[in-house]
Structure formats: structure tokens, C-alpha cells
Amino acid sequence: MAVKAGFIYVLIHPSDAYLIKVGMTSRSPQVRLKEHNTQFDKAAGKVVQATGEEWILKEFFAVEDTYNAESAFFHRSPLTEIPYALSDELLKLDDKFLNWDWVNEGLELAKSVGVRRDISKAPIAKPKPKRGAKWIEASLRDSGLKPLKGFGNGITKVAFECPQRHVFKISGYCLARFPFCPICEPYKFDAYTLRRVEFCESE
């Protein structure tokens, strides 16, 4: 893989203080920001479409090897250990593991790694979330929630029922992150996820 100089950037979103995107580009970060705010088929664009608010460029810095810098940021704990930590290339921060201290440590690492030693080899790929039906089922095992239809690929909305017989539709992946009934316990969801829930009549 060729070495490309460019930038590492951090985006934040007005709708959710815990939702960010860290990415790399060999072009202008401002140009990349415009793409994220207008590509509604992508994860970042879907947030813009759902909330009506655009992403904001929080910071960026130049790097010698964009792929190596991005790999250094993402390929570290807990992203390599928590299946749902990396969601559709967006990061959901928390107050324990994935917090701003962790982000800033990763950014400092990305600044310092330079060009990879063996440029004939690609950097280690960004860890991918586990979205299989078995993982979703295991994540919901102790929640009392049950699907009324198949899990699909984890992204498609599926009807679920809670022990109180409330029926709602949400992606299996989202529910695995927030294994609660949005009617019984709406305060346990972030605002963006809660807006994506479809409420249904009991079947």
C-alpha cells in the first residue's frame, strides 16, 4: 500500500456529546467534512439526516502516513476487545473506557508513529464490530427482550417485545448496545438512537 501524507481529523456532533468520528484523509479536512455532512447513505450522513444538524470539525493535524496513523489510533484496547465499540465507523464515547482521555492518547500516538517500516505491507486493518445474529442474541440473553422476527444482518430494523409486552422496531445492533425497552426505560438511550425507534402496537 502506497504511503500517502494527509490528515487525521476529529468530528463532533451537536446532537450527542458522546458521538464522534475519527478519520483520515489525503485531501483537505474541510472537504471531507462536507462529504460527511452530505453523503446520507453513509453512517455520518445518516446522523445528519436524522437530526438535521451537521458534523463539526473539532481538530485535525498533518501526518506522514495516513493509513499508519489511523491504524495506530484504532488498533488498541478497548476497540479490539469490545465488539460494539466501533459502530459504523463512528465512535460512541463513555465515561469509563472510551473517553476523551483515551481519544487524546490515540491522537498523540497517531501524530508520533510516522511512516510504517515496511511500506510494502498495509497497516493492520481497523477492527470491525461483530454484528452477527448470534452475538446480538447473546447480548440480549439477560435483558428479557425477544425478537418477533429474524435478526437479519443486525442493521435492518426488527420487531422486539419486552416482558411488559411493549413492541418496537430497532436494529438488532442498536438494541445490543442498549439492551432495554425504549418505552419502559427511555432514559437509558441516547437521543439519536431513541429517535430511530419505531413504536408498534402489540402483536
Q: Which three three-digit cell numbers place residue 81?
A: 476487545
Question: Are 151 and 65 found together in one domain?
Answer: no
Q: How long, in residues, is the chain?
A: 203
Residue 173, domain member (yes or no): yes
Question: Are 25 and 100 found together in one domain?
Answer: yes
Query: Is 91:20 a contact under the CB 8 Å cutoff?
Result: yes
164-187 average pLDDT score = 87
Give the model confidence (pLDDT) of 111-152 as tens digits: 999 998 877 776 666 666 555 566 677 778 888 998 886 544
Give the model confidence (pLDDT) of 8-59 as tens digits: 999 999 999 989 999 999 999 999 999 999 999 998 999 999 899 999 999 9
Residue 176, domain member (yes or no): yes
Domain span at 102: 6-112
Residue 57, domain member (yes or no): yes
Q: What separation, in Å, do the N-terminal and C-terminal C-alpha atoms of the chain show?
A: 53
Decide: pTM greater than 0.75: no
Question: Are 32 and 83 found together in one domain?
Answer: yes
Give the residue from 61, 78, 112 where a domain finishes.
Answer: 112
Spatial distance between the Cα atoms of 125 and 68, rounded to a whole number of angstroms: 10
- Give pLDDT, residue 153: 45
Residue 121, domain member (yes or no): no
Question: Are 18 and 68 found together in one domain?
Answer: yes
Give the model confidence (pLDDT) of 142-165 as tens digits: 889 988 865 444 445 778 899 999
Question: Are 78 and 145 found together in one domain?
Answer: no
Neighbours of 183 (CB within 10 A): 13
Question: Are 87 and 24 found together in one domain?
Answer: yes
Classify the phi-psi angles of 89: left when phi > 0, otherwise alpha if psi is within -120 to 50, otherwise beta.
left
